Amino acid sequence: MRIAVLNKDKCQPRQCSQECYKYCPRVRTGDETILFGDDGKAVISEELCAGCGICVKKCQFGAIMIIGLPESLEHPTHRYGQNGFTLFGLPVPQKGKVTGILGPNGIGKSTSVQILSGTLIPNFGEKKTDWDTVLKHYAGTALYDYFKLAASGQLRVSQKPQYVDLIPKAFKGKTIDLLEKANTGGDLDYLVKRLDMADILNRDIKALSGGELQKVAIAACAAKDADFYFFDEISPYLDIYQRINAARLIQEMAKEKGKSVLVVEHDLAILDMLADTVHVAYGQAAGYGVITLPKTVRIGINQYIKGYLPEENMRIRDEAIRFETHPPVEGPDIKTILSYDSFSKSFENVFSLEAKGGSIKEGEVLGIVGPNGTGKSTFVKILAGEIEPDAGEVGIDVKISYKPQYIKADTPIRVRDFLMDIADNFGTSFYEVEIARPLQLATLYDSLLTDLSGGELQRVAIAACLSRNADFYILDEPSAHLDVEQRAIVTKVITRFAESNSKTAMVVDHDIYMIDMISQRLIVFEGEPSKNGIANAPTTMKKGMNKFLSNLDITFRRDEETKRPRVNNYDSRLDREQKEKGEYYYTGE
């Protein structure tokens, strides 16, 4: 089966010479393989298309995809019109269980949720459809009773948005006002206590940090009285302890209240402990997506990491994602490119940061971990020269390139123009091979910054940071809104960039997997969130991980098959044994 997909946003008939039509071999023989609609944009006949791919290469805007699908994908679940995105399969929500979806961005997870929420009726690839057709199609399946409730209009749905930083644009007022408006289930007091939100209830929504907005979004979703709950990424901006706390809360909603919960999550450690079953999603971004049948969590995540789905006989990635079971081996003494003295910073007697002096080595990637509210962003801003310390000398006399935690695109400028203005090496072979190609920027060049999704904007911001001519690169939470594969790619890009150019990078992130894959050494933050923070001196990965996780009272074990870290149940046998040995993350050395 072959499908032709046209991205109408990219198709610009007024700015091209209709190359797709002129160079199509079937059109030249007289067939009407490509026509033009009333809007002047191409319409491709999939029945007549020979699949040569010439139109794909000739389209200067990259608006066309000709995709050969596996033979097993004959009956689509939904298609957005002719030459539109096609979805195959649906996740199956189950009462009393948390169902996870694991897969890259742009392959139909949001479409699945729209269908399950009843706002979009699946058309099975046809022009028209209705609920009677849907019920007939799913008769005798696990989804029949679910869609019967949706068709009657009695399905109550609660959704947590993916991009919580957009909440202040949609709601004006105090936090408590938003939460009380959502509190149709009557559990607000419990949720506020459970998510540790008492201090922010009377604060204005626009004054909240990203982590605080994330907790507000989770609480607002959970506070509603609904049959079906959908949480789209609970981890961005939350530290590891807050992520685990939120995951356990969602588990309670399913198991104790018998609710159907669907979760999309890219932090594999959190998804592993949160979900009861997992649907793996694969396909081609903006082209088509496939949602597999449910799998057990361990098997589903392991198959996704390996890049091969045996039941579907489908390879979804050329290489497996690999995890190291031991910390980086300390090599010979590497040149120190900069040192900083101890310093401190206070903010109106509300929060204070004490940083111990340290040194940073040439070509290394330094990870930064610690609870939210202990001054990690303040620390890197002081190193970057954006904030002056109250006491002590930072003493850094090098050029610094800084990617902030929160990225905003207020100016409608093309991505290509934006990067050309700030990238000293834009267009060079090094830039294209080491930065643009792995971060998949070519498809974004002609888009406006203001039109990009959170994940797309994050990739552009990472590229912009690495493109500047500097000695020291600081990236604050580069994993936010990136899927699992993109996070693995970003770790390789940053690591290779530092090694190839003898530059130093500092990465602040809460994704333990990413910090482990990217870091040679670690800076651990301690303290009382929102009151005081202590930035320890850089240390080895083993010492740093043990210190960080012992503060959180969390241990990780290793999956026997893929060696990926998995969170141990609190006070389990493995948890107690590892704590006694002082092995919180790296074990068996």
- 287 half-sphere exposure, CB direction, 13 A CA radius: 16
- Predicted pLDDT at 588: 65
Q: What span, in angstroms and rounded, lies between the C-alpha atoms of 325 and 566?
A: 12
- Predicted pLDDT at 264: 93
**Placement of tokens 């079953």 in the chain:** 277
Closest of 139, 142, 4 to residue 79, by C-alpha: 4
DSSP, res 174: B
**Phi, psi angles (nearest 5°) of residue 429:** -65, -40
- Predicted pLDDT at 395: 65
Q: What span, in angstroms and rounded, lies between the C-alpha atoms of 216 and 245?
A: 14
Residue 250 backbone class (left: φ over 0; alpha: ψ -120 to 50; beta: rest):
alpha
Token pair recorded at residue 458: 């994050």
- Contacts of residue 244, Cβ cutoff 8 Å, sequence gap at least 6: 270, 273, 554, 567
DSSP, res 392: S
**Placement of tokens 């996070």 in the chain:** 487
CB 426, CB 435: distance < 8 Å: no
- Predicted pLDDT at 327: 78
DSSP reduced 3-state for 15:
helix
- What is the chain's pLDDT, residue by residue, as a tens digit (589 residues)? 899 999 998 899 999 999 999 999 999 999 999 999 999 999 999 999 999 999 999 999 999 999 999 888 889 999 999 999 999 999 999 999 999 999 998 899 889 989 998 989 999 999 889 999 999 999 999 999 999 999 998 999 999 998 898 899 899 999 999 999 999 999 999 999 999 999 899 999 999 988 999 999 999 999 999 999 999 999 999 998 899 999 999 999 999 999 999 999 999 999 999 999 999 999 999 899 999 999 999 999 999 999 999 999 999 998 898 887 777 766 556 788 778 889 999 988 789 999 999 988 888 999 999 988 899 888 888 887 788 899 887 766 778 899 988 888 888 999 999 999 988 778 788 889 999 999 999 889 988 999 898 899 999 999 999 999 888 899 999 999 999 999 999 999 999 999 888 888 999 999 988 998 899 999 999 999 888 999 999 999 999 999 999 988 999 998 989 989 899 988 999 999 999 999 999 876 5
- Predicted pLDDT at 81: 93
- Contacts of residue 505, Cβ cutoff 8 Å, sequence gap at least 6: 364, 365, 366, 472, 473, 474, 475, 494, 497, 498
DSSP, res 143: T
CB 327, CB 306: distance < 8 Å: no
Q: What span, in angstroms and rounded, lies between the C-alpha atoms of 314 and 195?
A: 40
pTM over 0.85: yes
DSSP, res 359: E
- Predicted pLDDT at 181: 95
The burial of 171, by beta-carbon neighbours within 10 Å (0-12 exposed, 13-18 middle, 19 or more buried), is given as middle
Per-residue b/e over 400-421, b at no fewer than 16 CB within 10 Å?
Answer: bbbbbbebebeeeeebbebbee
